[in-house]
Structure 1
Amino acid sequence: MWIIFALLATFFFGLRGILYQWTSQKNLNRDLLLFGVFFIGFIISILGVLLFNQHWYGWPDIAVGLGLGIGSFAANACLHKGFSVGKASLISVLSGLTPLLVLMFAFLLWKETLTGIQLLGFFIIFCGLCLIRYSSDISINNLKGAQWGLFAALFFAFNDLMGKQSTLLGADILATLTSMFGFGSMLFAISWLAKRKKNQLYDTSVEGT
């Protein structure tokens, strides 16, 4: 059953990447856009909490949800920024390093390992993915936005590890997602308001000169 959920996650993450690439080329406010994305997730999650009578069982559950919110905020902001300034193929390759980072940190934190066959399969798939993508027009001379792809991979890895921690705590999934989306929405709203105020101050100073 887990493979079905993994494939569905892959599909929806891919769809998200396509939409991020498309919207990054439009004249849209990134923070306001991502606030809308997270706020919709918050509404859906809290409705699920009420419908299925889920709960927060203590501060550890809430802390994990807030950690997920921080990771999601940072990862999505970096990913969208990367798509806006760099090549989609490059950013997708670098943000695709997340599984490798998760594998490394899971071993260090929880001593999780793969069997020899699983490790070989992971290595073949990962190398094949990189070879296919790097066979395009990516070169050392067009790495603009690479840092944003790497940051996105790092924060997505952090997010996956926090998700794993929530399962170890036995946290209710919809309650955790409510904390994640709610806190992420707040962070994007704060970022949007701060940049808006900064722009207003700048416009005022320009008009006064």
Structure 2
Amino acid sequence: MSGRFTRVCVYAGSAPGASDAYTSVSHAAITELAARGSDVVYGGGSLGLMGVLADAALEAGGNVTGVIPKFLDDKEIAHHGVTDLRVVETMHERKMLMADLSDAFLVLPGGIGTLEEVVEMLSWSQLGLHRKPIGLLDVDGFWQPLIALLDHMTAERFVGVDHRQHVLSDPDPITLLDAMEAWEAPKLSRRWLTEDEQT
């Protein structure tokens, strides 16, 4: 099966998490991604789900580009077995390069860093800085609190209905990747909320 994306940016935790499902479902998602012909761009780490996703892509024959700031590489956290490891100076450079290299964003379970990355990409999407799908792999309901918050922000008219459509979620990797490939960017509003949504 040939997918829509040349490269997908994958965000994930540098820890494995409390549940074995985080590892198994993440591995399955990246294996499926590689089977669709998509290469992986990620944060360059070797630990936790970051290491799992890199290894899964390599095992499936995919190319993996890791992007890591020098201060983390110096601590020997970098995965030096990836196809292309790029060492940058700052976290900001890392996030910019990862976004620029990618056609879509897939978010695995993770911690504060992963949350910060996905929220920043949602903000950039809302501002029209990119028109790429963002998919949350909702393993065992991991992302339900964030999804509920986004829905609450939309209901309270801080997020437009069209902007809420910028993020997809599903617990099943195949269903999520199918939805990401079928996604079409909603039309950007000139205002954060349309007149209909304000009344």
Q: TM-score, normalised by structure 2?
A: 0.22
Higher relative contact order (CA closer than 8 Å, sequence separation 6+)? 1
**Whose radius of gyration is greater, 1 or 2?**
1
* TM value normalised by structure 1: 0.21
Q: Which of the two has greater strand per residue? A: 2
